[in-house]
Structure 1
Amino acid sequence: MRKVGCLGLLIGLGLIAALFWVARDWSGEGPAAKPLAVVVPEGASLSRAAGELEKQGAIRSAWRFRGYARVFGTGKPIKAGEYAIPARASASDILALLEQGKVRQRLIPVPEGYPSILVHEALIRAEGLTGQVAVPREGSILPDSYAYQLNDTRTAIVARMQKAMADYLATAWKKRKPGIAVKSPEEAIVLASIVEKETGKPSERRMVAAVYTNRLKRGMPLQADPTVIYPITKGKPLGRRIKRSELQATNGYNTYASAGLPVGPIANPGRQSIDAVLDPATTSALYFVADGTGGHVFADTLEQHNANVAKWYAIRRARGEM
């Protein structure tokens, strides 16, 4: 009886040790010393995914992982995609990622006022995208952050960006204020792109839009510096002062040389600039100039404007910029 008792005790201890080892192997720290990126192909089975995880060093054993999944998993099918596996992630945590489809999210940020040439460069730089794509039509991209997955195509991302703009513009146009200066959604994007480039302060956008609205209604040239720069750089920073010859150039964009809107957008405007053009502030202001604090000071008359310009020049001279 004593031998039977000892044998039972040994078996019990062995079972406890085995259970402890299984729990540690399943829920304890995994073997990955650093974060890993593991791709589960479309249609891949758990067996294939486990093999890839073992190959990448995320788990210790593919066959044990499959066994654990049958016992401890939810039974849900795993989802394809690229997974970001944290360092030392447990087998339990990795299976949860696969079953919940928490794939790695890659982002392409498109800031407000980004010209299409810079959107194109961002698409080309984006790691994991495939295929080539032309520079998108200016003003057709809605600024935002766009998520993508490994092996998505650049063409598909651009299509999403353009659909986002088309959808937002269609909705915003329906809500436009009566009596605005622009006569079509296309004209709204052109003017919104100028507003976007003229001020980085959200609180000023409706006021800047109002100044340009007033000038358009009076047949006055918009005299917007960003429209002069656009044909030279395609929207990138000029890096110097505008030349007199550039202010006099006739190219369809120069709003000093001719009245009315330029022939096309000069950037991809954001939602707030589009909204500002479609609902500008109520004001009689016709002019504005920088105030030295990152904003602008507005004026109704040329006399007031010239005084404001003189103050701005004084600020620039004091800064050593002139």
Structure 2
Amino acid sequence: MTVASRLSKWSFYLIFFPAVLGIVGWQGWSWWSWAKAPVQLPGSNLEEATIQVQIPLGTSIEQIGRDLEAIGVIRSASAWNLWARWLRLRARMAPETRGEFQAGTYALSQAESLSEIASKIWAGEVVQLSYTIPEGWSLKQMAEYFEARGFFSAEAFLAATRQIPDDDFVWLPPNLPHLEGFLYPDTYQLADGVLTPELVIRQMLYQFEQVALPVYEQRQGQTNLSLLEWVTLGSIVEKESVVAEERGLIAGVFTQRLQRGMRLEADPTVEYGLGIRQTQEQPLTLRQVQTPSEYNTYLNAGLPPTPIASPGVASLEATLNPAATDYLFFMARYDGTHIFSRTLEEHNRAIAQVERELSNRQPQAGNELTTE
């Protein structure tokens, strides 16, 4: 090979390799900029927008990337995969950084870079979840709440409530079609960041066992109500009692009616059976009240087959210790309070009084007031 040939060959290497390195460097910088750049979703504020992302146990790295890209938290699942491989390689090379991507629920900001998001999931910086179920909520309302919070679907929750865990909670009444009434309303915390319908149900059943069940067991010899009847009556009292001071009196009215063989005629039972909710603007119609349902206490004597909501301990206690009263009727004023009556004649006057109080609103055809 001549000197000229050797010089030509080295010239080629001197030109080719810097060019390749330049291209690789440019590609790396482009990827780094792409990974670092925050994602601006339409109409979002990068300083405020956060998304709760749940990563189930056993989710692959690739699936995590696809999920994050799908909801717009990162721009590129491919970039995520490359960065994840780098974290794993670094963990093998440096013992102090060893770890793995961890399951859980994460609060991810759209202003965070890909590397920041990956580091958070690698370190297991899960959020402490909490959820609050108010007294008087039905299973349907709970299901809608959990779905709206993004924890799991309403359908999944309702399906789980039909699986009765009576092996673990042996005190549950036999042959329950669902767990309505037995999921105790409260605020719950979850430390590990993974929320499932089954976990929620077990937490709430355990709280019922700790808070409500002892109330019944302490008075079991002093009441003729079975556990199912107690919770069912308590759920009706809960739905009717807006003002706490009236709770014992409302329980007393229902107790009197049951003892006398009178129908309860409780609006919330009709609403539950029809899957509706009346308001001041749209009270129950006579047609709805006359619609047959196993929950319709205007048509059926006694208690409905199951609770209609989750009662709190105050309503449950009231059913065991109702106020001594000779009231047999009450009429809602639509401000949370009621007018209580001893006779049907008094009750009819109360109805007329409420109609006068509401006369400033335009009545809707067919929406006659109903009463207890």
TM-score range, shorter chain: 0.5 to 0.7
Q: Structure 1: how far apart are the matches of 2:138 and 2:339?
A: 26
* Residues 1:314 and 2:337 aligned together: no
Of residues 148, 155, 174, the one that matches 1:125 is 148
Q: Could you give the per-residue CA deviations for residues 236-269 of structure 1, whole angstroms, max 9, x where no partner exists?
A: 4246333333323332211111221111111121
Partner secondary structure for residue 317 of structure 1: coil
Equivalent position of 1:246 in the other structure: 288
Which amino acid in the other structure matches residue 147 of structure 2?
A: I
TM-score by length of 2: 0.57
* Residues 1:295 and 2:337 aligned together: yes
Equivalent position of 1:174 in the other structure: 217
Partner secondary structure for residue 147 of structure 1: strand
Query: Are residues 40 and 112 of structure 1, via their aligned partners in 2, closer, same or farther at CA, if it must alter by over 3 Å?
Result: closer
C-alpha displacement of 1:226: 1.2
Equivalent position of 1:207 in the other structure: 249
Unaligned 5+ residue runs, structure 2? Answer: 1-37, 39-45, 58-79, 81-86, 88-101, 113-122, 163-177, 365-372
For these two proteins, the number of residue pairs brought into alignment is 276
Equivalent position of 1:237 in the other structure: 277
Q: Structure 1: how far apart are the matches of 2:183 and 2:252?
A: 24
Superposed, 1:125-274 pairs within 5 Å as 125-128=148-151, 132=156, 134=159, 135=161, 137=178, 138-148=180-190, 149-176=192-219, 180=223, 182-233=224-275, 236-238=276-278, 240-274=282-316
Runs of 4+ in 1 over 4 A off after TM superposition: 33-42, 79-88, 128-131, 177-180
Partner secondary structure for residue 318 of structure 1: coil
C-alpha displacement of 1:215: 0.5
C-alpha displacement of 1:115: 0.9
Q: Structure 2: how far apart are the matches of 1:110 and 1:226?
A: 19
User: Contact 2:104–2:194 at 8 Å: present in 1 too?
Assistant: no
Of residues 129, 149, 155, the one that matches 1:106 is 129
C-alpha displacement of 1:275: 1.4
C-alpha displacement of 1:128: 4.8
Of residues 313, 327, 331, the one that matches 1:285 is 327
Partner secondary structure for residue 195 of structure 2: coil
Superposed, 1:61-76 pairs within 5 Å as none
Unaligned 5+ residue runs, structure 1? Answer: 1-32, 43-54, 56-61, 63-78, 89-98
Query: Are residues 283 and 80 of structure 1, via their aligned partners in 2, closer, same or farther at CA, if it must alter by over 3 Å?
Result: same
C-alpha displacement of 1:175: 3.4
User: Contact 1:143–1:269 at 8 Å: present in 2 too?
Assistant: yes
Equivalent position of 2:68 in the other structure: none
Partner secondary structure for residue 150 of structure 2: coil
Partner secondary structure for residue 255 of structure 1: coil
Query: Are residues 36 and 166 of structure 1, via their aligned partners in 2, closer, same or farther at CA, if it must alter by over 3 Å?
Result: closer
C-alpha displacement of 1:127: 3.0
C-alpha displacement of 1:197: 1.4
Which amino acid in the other structure matches residue 193 of structure 1?
A: S
Which amino acid in the other structure matches residue 126 of structure 1?
A: R
- Bigger mean CA offset, 212-221 vs 305-314: 305-314
User: Contact 1:177–1:279 at 8 Å: present in 2 too?
Assistant: no
User: Contact 1:37–1:83 at 8 Å: present in 2 too?
Assistant: yes
Q: Could you give the per-residue CA deviations for residues 27-59 of structure 1, whole angstroms, max 9, x where no partner exists?
A: xxxxxx9789899999xxxxxxxxxxxx9xxxx
Equivalent position of 2:16 in the other structure: none
Which amino acid in the other structure matches residue 235 of structure 2?
A: S
TM-score by length of 1: 0.65
Q: Structure 2: how far apart are the matches of 1:228 and 1:38?
A: 39
Equivalent position of 1:3 in the other structure: none
C-alpha displacement of 1:168: 2.7
C-alpha displacement of 1:291: 3.3
Q: What is the RMSD of the two structures over their aligned residues, measured on CA atoms?
A: 4.6
Superposed, 1:10-29 pairs within 5 Å as none
Which amino acid in the other structure matches residue 310 of structure 1?
A: A
User: Contact 2:132–2:187 at 8 Å: present in 1 too?
Assistant: yes
User: Contact 1:189–1:269 at 8 Å: present in 2 too?
Assistant: yes
Q: Structure 1: how far apart are the matches of 2:56 and 2:220?
A: 50
User: Contact 1:176–1:279 at 8 Å: present in 2 too?
Assistant: no
Q: Structure 1: how far apart are the matches of 2:203 and 2:227?
A: 19
Query: Are residues 168 and 306 of structure 1, via their aligned partners in 2, closer, same or farther at CA, if it must alter by over 3 Å?
Result: same
Q: Structure 2: how far apart are the matches of 1:40 and 1:112?
A: 31
Which amino acid in the other structure matches residue 214 of structure 2?
A: T
